[in-house]
Each structure stands twice: as C-alpha cells, then as structure tokens.
C-alpha cells in the first residue's frame, strides 16, 4: 500500500490553530460514547457475544424491535453532497463536513437527538436517492442539508415516497418554519393579518421557494419571488419546472422587473439570496414594513439601515436582534416526530412547529423580539410537544 504524505505541514497547522475557529474544529466536533458499561466479562457477554445474538435473532423475527433495542429511534443522518454549503456554494463533500458536524452537534445540544454527519461523493439525483435509501435502515430520520436546487426538491420528494421515516430538507422547511413564526408575530405587532401582507422574497433557491410556498399556504396575501434575473412570473423564458409552478401560484399583482422595483409599497421583504438591496428600496416600502434580511454572513441590507424605515428587522445572525435561525426548528421537529415514531413530517406538523415557536414569544412581543432566542429553554419543548401532537392528529404516529 502506498501512503500519500499530507501536503499540510505541521507549521501550517499551528498557524491555522491561532484562529479560534480552527482551534475549536481541530479533531472534529463530535465523538461516539457508549451508554452501557463494559467493566468485566459479564458486561461484555451482554453487550456483545453471546448476549447480542439473542437480540439480533429477535429483531430478525420482528424488525420493528430494532427501534426499541438499538439506537435507531434516536439517531438522524445529516446528509449532504456539498453542492450548496452555507453561502459558500459547491465546495464538495469534504469541505461540507464541518457544517454537517455542526448540524449534528445542534441536534444533540438542543433536543437530545443523536445525529451522524454523512457527506456523499455523488451529486446525481438517482445516486443520492439510492445511497440514502441503502443507508436508511440505520437511522430513525434523514435530514437533508446543503443540496443545491432544483435537485434538492426531487431528492426529498423521492425519499419521502420510498421511506417510512421522517425525511426533512432543513434548508427548505426549517427556514420556512422559523420565517413563518417570526412573520406571524411581526404582523401581530403591526396590527395586520397575514392576508393583508404583500411580500417580496429575494432568492428562488431551495429556501426561497420553500419559504414562499409555506407563506402562501399560511394565507399571506401575495408574494413576488425574485431570482438573479428578476421577478418570477408566468411567461418568463428559461424557468425550470419548479419556478414555473411557483409563477402560477404567486405574484398575483403581475409584477415584473427587479426585486427593488417590487419593493415599492410592499409590506414585507424576505432576503434569501446573498444579493444586496439598496437603502432607497427599503425606504420605498409601506409604512410599518417588515424586513427579514436573512443571508449569512452578509445580510441583503444592514439592519441599522433597514431600521431607519422598517418597524421590524430580522437577520440570520446571532449578533443582531431577531435571529431567524433554523436551529429553532429542526431539533424539535425531529425530536417530536421521532418520539411518536412518525412515518413522515406533514405540512400540518410544520405549521404546528411555527405556531409553537411564535407562541413562545407571547406577551414579550416587541420590535426587537418577534422570535425567541435559540437559547430560550422553552423553545425545544414547545416545538416537540406541538409536532408530536400533530403527528398523532394527522395519523402518521406509530406510538
């Protein structure tokens, strides 16, 4: 066997470790720990052979017992192909691993869910689906992450059809849940219903399309969605099937042109694009406007600039008020679904999660507090309870 030496010198590693982010990531952010002792031969005989054979035989006769006598019912696969990582784009599976480790860490820290980061060296829809299906017997849920659009829609849809465990693309649904929760409270603060709002969404990737769909289903009055070529509308050339469907269901006002043109008189801006929006465009919005500039690390408009004109301003960053962060949703959604061994995550379960999140704010509602902090200890229990109850109501719970 030929061993290829590392191309990174010890001196280079030491220099990188001067950066606290690199120092924290040295050796990875996770480890596996046993939950039972192995102190003597008796323990070994129960944890491994011969005791383990009795458990294996029982599971072979009744496969559902695996959910009771292995860790499956409490473990999620965090799966990515590295094609749409954060704001970094298509950086590949190896470079995606720190993000997937981070996601797995958040599952554990915020909802006690064990998660395994899996970065796949394939990008074709058929390959991704087949690989995840083959891995699925080892997991109680599948969290898809950072898979580029429009492939991500088909990958998720096909996996949901094949598998009888929760499959959830967090870039789509986690973002949508938290955005709806924040918008419900922002609308309440400004004395409006969702049906009165005209929304402009910048970004027609996975999160932009999912958020737009979710808000429309929740009863938002009208939504215009823009991609890099302008507003998505019926009759526009070059739209893929996903955008064609969105064009049919959105933009009732028949807007054309750019994001900034569409913002004139709009009530809400939701930024999920990585682009920039001028101060003048924000100033042109309706009175008591709501600005969710969610791109990370650089919001579409600086929050202090947006605050000159908007009643409510939110970002995706932790160093500004109103952080719209997926960590508010996905740990509790999976915990709630897995606690009742749900076969899927329904639209109603996602709505229940959003409503539970919004309710946590309660009487503390203010312009700088339309969404709870990820560190609010009420968040996960509220989401877990709502999702579990809705799974039972929807008939998808097995417990």
| Cβ neighbours of residue 145 closer than 8 Å, sequence gap 6 or more | 78, 79, 80, 99, 100, 103, 169, 170, 171
Q: How far from the centroid of its chain's Cα atoms is residue 130's Cα?
A: 22
- As a whole number of angstroms, the distance between CA 344 and CA 276 comes to 37
| Cβ neighbours of residue 138 closer than 8 Å, sequence gap 6 or more | 72, 75, 77
CA nearest neighbour of 78 among 118, 105, 46, 19: 118
Residue-wise DSSP of 257-290: S-HHHHTTT-SEEEE-SS----HHHHHTSPTT-E
| Rg of the chain (C-alpha set) | 23
Q: What are 366's strand-pairing partners?
A: 369
Name the helix (H) or strand (E) containing 198: strand 198-202
Burial class (CB in 10 A: 0-12, 13-18, 19+), 61: exposed
- The residues carrying an active-site annotation are 48, 103
* Residue appearing with tokens 């969605």: 225
Cα 179 to Cα 70, 128, 174, 231, distances in angstroms: 36, 28, 9, 21
The answer to whether 168 and 349 are in contact (CB under 8 A) is no
Residue-wise DSSP of 24-87: HHTT-S-----SS---SHHHHHHHSTTHHHHHHHHHHH-GGGHHHHSSGGGEEEEEE-SSSBTT
- What are the DSSP E strand ranges found in 127-180? 141-144, 167-169
């Amino acid at each position: 066997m030929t061993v290829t030496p590392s191309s990174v010198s010890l001196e280079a590693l030491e220099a990188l470790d001067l950066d606290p982010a690199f120092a924290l990531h040295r050796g990875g952010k996770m480890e596996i720990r046993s939950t039972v002792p192995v102190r003597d031969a008796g323990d070994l005989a129960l944890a491994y052979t011969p005791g383990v054979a009795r458990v294996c035989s029982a599971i072979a006769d009744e496969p559902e017992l695996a959910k009771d006598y292995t860790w499956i019912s409490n473990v999620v696969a965090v799966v990515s192909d590295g094609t749409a990582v954060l704001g970094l784009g298509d950086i590949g599976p190896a470079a995606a691993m720190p993000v997937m480790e981070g996601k797995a860490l958040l599952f554990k820290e915020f909802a006690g869910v064990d998660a395994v980061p899996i970065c796949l060296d394939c990008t074709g829809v058929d390959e991704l689906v087949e690989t995840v299906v083959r891995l699925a017997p080892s997991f109680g849920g599948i969290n898809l992450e950072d898979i580029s659009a429009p492939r991500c829609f088909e990958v998720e849809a096909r996996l949901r059809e094949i598998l009888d465990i929760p499959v959830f693309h967090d870039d789509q649904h986690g973002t949508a849940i938290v955005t709806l929760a924040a918008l419900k409270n922002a609308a309440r603060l400004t004395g409006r219903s969702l049906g009165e709002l005209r929304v402009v969404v910048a970004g027609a990737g996975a999160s932009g399309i999912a958020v737009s769909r979710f808000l429309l289903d929740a009863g938002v009055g009208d939504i215009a969605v823009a991609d890099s070529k302008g507003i998505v509308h019926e009759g526009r050339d070059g739209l893929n099937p996903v955008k064609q469907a969105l064009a049919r269901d959105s933009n009732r006002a028949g807007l054309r042109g750019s994001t900034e043109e569409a913002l004139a008189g709009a009530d809400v801006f939701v930024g999920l694009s990585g682009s920039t929006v001028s101060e003048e465009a924000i100033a042109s919005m309706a009175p008591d406007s709501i600005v969710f500039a969610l791109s990370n690390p650089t919001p579409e408009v600086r929050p202090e600039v947006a605050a000159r004109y908007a009643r409510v301003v939110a970002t995706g960053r932790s160093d500004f008020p109103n952080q719209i962060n997926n960590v508010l949703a996905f740990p509790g959604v999976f915990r709630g679904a897995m606690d009742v061994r749900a076969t899927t995550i329904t639209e109603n379960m996602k709505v229940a999660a959003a409503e539970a999140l919004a309710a946590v704010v309660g009487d503390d509602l203010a312009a700088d507090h339309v969404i709870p902090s990820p560190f609010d200890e009420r968040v996960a229990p509220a989401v877990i309870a709502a999702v579990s109850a809705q799974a039972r109501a929807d008939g998808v719970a097995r417990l």
